[in-house]
Amino acid sequence: MAFARVCSVSRVLALALALFAFTAGAETRSLLVLHTNDVHDHVAPGYNGREGLCPLAGLVAAERAKRDDILLLDGGDLMEKGDMAAHRTKSRLTYELAARMRYDMVTPGNHDFTYGEAHLKECYSLLEGAVPVCCNAFSKDGGTVLAPSAVKTVNGIRVGVIGAITDTDDADTRSLKETAALVAAEAKRLAPETDLLIVLAHLGKNSCLELAEAAPEVNLFVGGHTHELLREPVIAPSGAAVVQAGGNAAFLGRVELSVDTDSGAVSLVRGEVVEVLHDTAPCDPELLAFVRARDAEVAPEARRPLGENPAPLAGREMAAVAARGLCRRAGADVGCCHAKQILRNTLPAGPVDVNAVFLTGGQRGEKIVRTTLTGADLRRYRELLLAQKRGLTEFSGPEGPLNPEDLPQDKELTVVMPEREWQSLFARMLKDTAAARPPQPCDFTFTDAVSSLVEDILNGRAKLVRRNAAAE
């Protein structure tokens, strides 16, 4: 069984309601598991006084100052979706910062394979002592990309950690059913030589619960991928605890365990997540200076202030602003931006800079293309998006939102959109039209165009025009 390999079924059930009791007089040792997942390149202090790997590192440092029984784990997806400087270094900056936090073990996420296996291993080499583990991602030679598991002794406790990843097209991974069998086999192998077993999985809560059923020897599942915020552990029928700490370096997970080294019984003392608030998790000055220096080196425009944003802009409202910015910068007739394809984050309220705009869609929308289409082409594009339930793109002229039905149906119009939207949506839905009108690359990025418009809006040089939902 998980939280006490010698416990009865009734004690396993009782774990969901109360703490495990220890045998009187037995030697017990403590372990504090600190865990992160889905950091996604959010390295600098975030907006609205929260988030960021820098302040999260401050929480870890505070814990290390108080105790020496700590195991620091990451559940994958350190890469992508985050700060401009991290993106421009292909996430090396994130790993450089993580190295200073002294992670003990990490497992890859699907986004961590974006730049290929060789690049991921190069990033792991920056971690200086952290052991990457994964039992279900395989190389061309048939072996696993990383060691399936590792054992580390912390405070006299032999801790075995097994890594696992979700399915991804960027690596040769296994299905959940096959992964469960691999985890179960590794758990059986490690059980005799460990006091405690942890699965570090880039998998959501429900998938971890399935793994727990297959591998009852495991005590703790540290999850990821789904960005679930589990404020307290979920207890599997096997007795194992499942934890996950949201995403974007907004929370640090804490699991306090005790191990009876005589009987092998493992007790869950407490499980929680701690929000990364800047006033309670101040950055280490050296870490912050390191990140700011890298900002200045690789993305000097990132911290240029744009103004005070009075209210958050998210989803299709932000996509409408983006479409207008692209149109305006290109001197085009129509700009397009599909929220679900391009945007990843909200433009926050409060002081915003160029990096805040980059976080909305600067990575997915980095490359912009230009072509000529008719109003009828744009109307057909909109109809196909609706018919195929792919969401809607936002259409905008230089002064605000447009309805394709109101455009001249036979007139040739200059149209700009992110290359990703063109390739993944427009060119697939209107193949003949796309082939006849191949787009040309623009000499500016999403961030260039949208930052310029946002700055003008926030400083009164342009008006924020809301999209007309009623026109749909």
Residue of higher predicted confidence among 139 and 435: 435
pLDDT of residue 25: 45
pLDDT of residue 472: 62
Average pLDDT score over the chain: 92
The whole-number average pLDDT for the span 129-136 is: 96
123 and 244 inside one domain: yes
113 and 158 inside one domain: yes
pTM: 0.90
Q: Confidence band (pLDDT; 50, 70, 90) for 310?
A: very high
DSSP-derived secondary structure for 104-167: SEE---GGGGTT-HHHHHHHHHTTSS-EEB-SSEE-TTSSBSSBSEEEEEETTEEEEEEEEE--
> Could you read off the pLDDT of 324-345 as tens digits, one per residue?
999 999 999 999 999 999 999 9
219 and 115 inside one domain: yes
The pLDDT of residue 156 is above 50: yes
The whole-number average pLDDT for the span 401-423 is: 96
84: in domain: yes
The pLDDT of residue 117 is above 70: yes
280 and 339 inside one domain: no
297: in domain: no
314: in domain: yes
> Could you read off the pLDDT of 178-208 as tens digits, one per residue?
999 999 999 999 999 999 999 999 999 999 9
The pLDDT of residue 17 is above 70: no
278 and 316 inside one domain: no
318 and 270 inside one domain: no
41's tokens: 């390149």
Q: What percent of the chain has pLDDT over 90?
A: 88
The pLDDT of residue 312 is above 50: yes
Query: Going by C-beta distance under 8 Å and a sequence separation of 6 or more, which residues neighbour residue 29?
Result: 69, 155, 156, 157, 258, 259, 261
4: in domain: no
Q: Examine the fold and report which residue of 268, 290, 312 is the final residue of a domain before the chain moves on.
A: 290
If you ran DSSP here, which 8-state letter would residue 464 be given? -
* Nearest C-alpha neighbor of 73 from the set 45, 92, 101: 101
Least confident range of 260-274, 331-345, 382-396: 260-274
285 and 320 inside one domain: no
Domain of 402, in residue numbers: 304-471
298: in domain: no
234: in domain: yes
Q: Examine the fold and report which residue of 233, 257, 290 is the final residue of a domain before the chain moves on.
A: 290
pLDDT of residue 284: 81
The pLDDT of residue 7 is above 90: no
Give the count of domains, the chain: 2
d(CA 36, CA 42): 12
278 and 339 inside one domain: no
Q: What percent of the chain has pLDDT over 70?
A: 93
299: in domain: no
d(CA 53, CA 72): 14
Q: Confidence band (pLDDT; 50, 70, 90) for 62?
A: very high
The whole-number average pLDDT for the span 403-429 is: 96
257 and 315 inside one domain: no
* Nearest C-alpha neighbor of 246 from the set 275, 217, 220, 271: 275
d(CA 130, CA 124): 8
Q: Examine the fold and report which residue of 225, 255, 290 is the final residue of a domain before the chain moves on.
A: 290
The pLDDT of residue 22 is above 70: no
> Could you read off the pLDDT of 223-256 as tens digits, one per residue?
999 999 999 999 999 999 999 999 999 999 999 9
pLDDT of residue 11: 33
pLDDT of residue 274: 97
18 and 58 inside one domain: yes
> Could you read off the pLDDT of 373-388 as tens digits, one per residue?
999 999 999 999 999 9
DSSP-derived secondary structure for 399-445: TEE--GGGS-TTSEEEEEEEHHHIIIIIHHHSHHHHHHS--EEEEEE
pLDDT of residue 10: 30
274: in domain: yes
pLDDT of residue 386: 96
192 and 44 inside one domain: yes
CATH number at residue 377: 3.90.780.10
97 and 133 inside one domain: yes
pLDDT of residue 3: 57
pLDDT of residue 466: 81
pLDDT of residue 403: 94
